[in-house]
Structure 1
Amino acid sequence: MKKIIALFLALVCVACVLASCGTSADTVTLYVYNWGEYISDGSEGSLDVNAEFEKYCAENERIKQLTGGKKVKVNYSTYASNEDLYAKLESNTVSYDVVVPSDYMVARLAKEGLIQKIDVSKIENYQYIRNEFKGLYYDENNEYSVPYTYGTVGIIYDTNKVSVKDAEEQSWALMWNENYKGDILQFNNPRDAFGTAMFYLGIDVNSENEQDWINAQRILKSQKEVVQGYVMDEVFNKMESGSAAVAPYYAGDFLSMYEDNNDLAFYYPKEGTNVFVDAMCVPASAKSPELAVEYINFMLSEQIAIANAEAICYASPNKLVYENTDYIAEMSEIHENAMEILYGYDDSKMAYFYDLPDAARKTMNDLWEELKIENDKGVAIYIIGGVIIAAVAVIAIIVFISKKKKAKAY
């Protein structure tokens, strides 16, 4: 009987393996790696862009020839920072077909051979990218990237907690204001966090001077006295729920948060801030680079580009979006000043992050690690202190109970 059962289980295993092989043989998987909360995914009644691409591939003759008639499946995963993306690509342990780094990271990935060139003449919808987003510093010859969105960093604050006087100053100083101790959030990545400090101090955010980075770290250290935590995507829950009062974050994400909490407001700091472009690229290790180009072209088509822009609330470099009256009306329903927030900023106060030279990048990363380690030590001290207090309390209770038992014995 045991032999029969064993034989049956073996046959089941073989069948499963064959089934999985059949699925693999009949399917081409496109691996897309993007920022969190950065695509129209079908939630809250939005269009599921990746599902639409899968359907598009099934109906498009050119793509069917490309895939040999196989079904296309999008495997979509997310990251929280450019540095996380870089670590994955640099390790070469995972293969992706489409990634969406920010401008300075595009330059770095291209320099290190981690992304491949793209022939934009094969991307029909590239014609709809506005001219001001072509030939930018990080990809001057438009060889490695296709703009997906662009954005700016500002300060989000809770009008129920932040005074009108402090908000009207429209300064980075709000993030160091002791009146909001324990209610202030900071970026949990080095480039953005140092950026807040450097803009506040009037330092060039692309400085190669080591002392500039040390000065920025010094003020970030002083900020730790008032900071509740270092966050990325966690900022949504904290600001929407009212559990934090001040946060530096991206303008598009402010609009998403505002939909859930109308008490939030936004401003661009008077000292200046970061403007960035997030662009679609094809990694050097991509298994399906031609299909990746088809995906990029699809993302630039009118219906899909508008769906993404409405879902994530970021500014679009695509004229099919920017000039669409329905899109403008939709954004204005979210916030009466949405178009001004996304597109009407003062260029003279904006700066791109450039790919730093190796020495400056090492300085930044070392200072960031030092800053975070000190923070972790502080947390550890509180935890250890709490454990010691709890242990002393338990011992005291045991001793007290023991004495009571002895007293009863007499």
Structure 2
Amino acid sequence: MKQFVQLIGGALLFGILSLAIGYWISHDNVKEEQEELYVYNWGEYIDPALLQKFEKQTGIKVIYETFDSNEAMEAKIRNGGTHYDVAFPSDYTIEKMKQSNLLIPLNHEQIPNMKHLDAHYMDQPFDRKNVYSIPYFFGTVGILYDQEKYPDMKFEHWSDLKDPRLANDVIFVDGAREVIGLGLNSLGYSLNDADAKHLDEAEAHLKTYAPNIRGVVGDEVTMMLEQHEASVAVMWSGSAAPLFQEDDRFNYVVPKEGSNLWFDNMVIPKTAQNVDGAHKFINFLHDPEVNRQNAEWVAYATPNKTARNMLPEEIKNDERVYPTEETQQRLEVYKDLGTDVLSEYNERFLNFKMAL
């Protein structure tokens, strides 16, 4: 009897332990199975505090990675190594990804904050009716310059960058579309021109800028200007904004010959595994208060009209950040030129850099 009781007691104890262990394992698995969202964005292109806010609001853990070029981003999504749920490609890349069946259509009903977007920045040629993308930020390519060092120069034309007074004091942003586009615009051509003769002319014309060019640089462009390593730069408006908004010696202009109006939009890649979470994230980023905070942190122009109206007066009314309709008449959005033409742009850009 005693042995029977011991046996029963042992079995009972074993059962209790088994239940406890089972609960612990089950509870631990719940933690491991927390909903996740894989986000792929440009570097320094979102206020990190907002990622934490989204996680707290939704319980969704954000796995955040960055890229430094549209081409690198597209290649990684095309290869499918990581199943990103939200990505942030630029205009012409969206057009290319759409044609390659790399994106899924958005459910606009799951993005009610779309109502805050300015219609002027919607329904762009690269994605009519915003079937596949929602605008995130936009901006221009122009000239940032130190107006204390060059008080008599207004940089109204791209050709002003060839002024002998600027010897070894100009830097170009490291982008084939931007630099070749500068050469094309300087000659009165479209920055989406694919005519080989016109590209020959643009490449030859760019060489006339060489005596003044200190270098072709990437993210360090801002640092070089701040540290007086150069005084003039061809760069994106959003990268220039912290400089001209915080230091009166800097100014930014879009030359009269024209330039680029670019868009970075949010998309959901075909291989996404958390489509519902992706819609929540896109909608979250266009909540007016969230968008205002993000726009102040990133410094690029927001297409969210409600959020823009919440920005400080000196920002929301700054025509260098938010170009007037008159200025926008001189701007073009990049188109997908196709692999062959893009390769030609890249080759000519490389020739230009090697000749400096």
Q: Fold match, TM over 0.5?
A: yes
Aligned to 1:398: none
8 Å Cα contact 1:175-1:247 kept in structure 2: no
For residue 355 of structure 1, what is the aligned residue in structure 2? 336
- The equivalent of 1:249 in structure 2 is 235
How much has 1:340 moved relative to structure 2?
Answer: 5.7
* Equivalent residue letter for 1:331: I
Q: Counterpart of 1:307 in 2: which secondary structure?
A: helix
Residue 54 of structure 1 is matched in structure 2 by: 55
Aligned residue identity for 2:116: Y
Alignment coverage as a number of residue pairs: 329
Gaps of 5+ in 1: 1-17, 42-47, 59-71, 379-410
| Deviation, structure 1 residue 364 | 1.3
Aligned residue type for 1:360: V
Q: 1:22 to 1:196 in 2, by over 3 A?
A: farther
Question: Which runs of structure 2 are paired with 1:290-301 in the superposition (5 Å)?
Answer: 290-301=276-287
Give the deviation of 1:178 after TM superposition. 3.2
Aligned to 2:164: 178
8 Å Cα contact 2:252-2:320 kept in structure 1 = no
> Residue in 2 aligned with 1:89?
77
1:54 maps to a residue whose letter is E
- Measured in 2, the distance between the counterparts of 1:220 and 1:89 equals 34
Q: Deviations over 1:252-304 (max 9, x none)?
A: 32221234533111111011111112110111222222211110000010111
Which residue of the partner structure matches residue 31 of structure 1?
38
Q: Over the residues paired in the alignment, what is the CA RMSD in angstroms?
A: 2.3
1:114 Cα deviation from its structure 2 partner: 2.0
Q: Is structure 2 residue 286 aligned with structure 1 residue 342?
A: no
State the partner residue of 1:329. 313
Give every structure 1 segment of 4 or more consecutive aligned residues whose post-TM-superposition deviation is greater than 4 Å: 21-24
- Amino acid paired to 1:35: W
Match of 2:68 among 77, 80, 85: 80
* 1:168-189 C-alpha deviation (Å, 9 max, x unpaired): x511123333322221111212
* Match of residue 161 from structure 1: 149
The CA deviation at 1:305 is 0.7
Task: Work out the CA distance in 2 between the residues paired with 1:232 and 1:115.
Answer: 28
SS for the counterpart of 1:303 is: helix
- 1:388 aligns with none
Letter in 1 for 2:274: S
Structural mapping, 1:182-261, within 5 Å: 182-261=168-247
Aligned residue for 2:6? none
- Same amino acid, percent of matched pairs: 28
Give, in whole Å, the separation in 2 of the partners of 1:223 and 1:91: 39
**Residue 111 of structure 2 corresponds to residue 123 of structure 1:** yes
Unaligned runs of 5+ in 2: 1-24
* In 2, Cα distance between equivalents of 1:189 and 1:24: 43
The one-letter amino acid paired with 1:97 is D
- CA apart distance, 1:244: 1.0
2:16 counterpart residue number: none
- Residue 304 of structure 1 is matched in structure 2 by 290
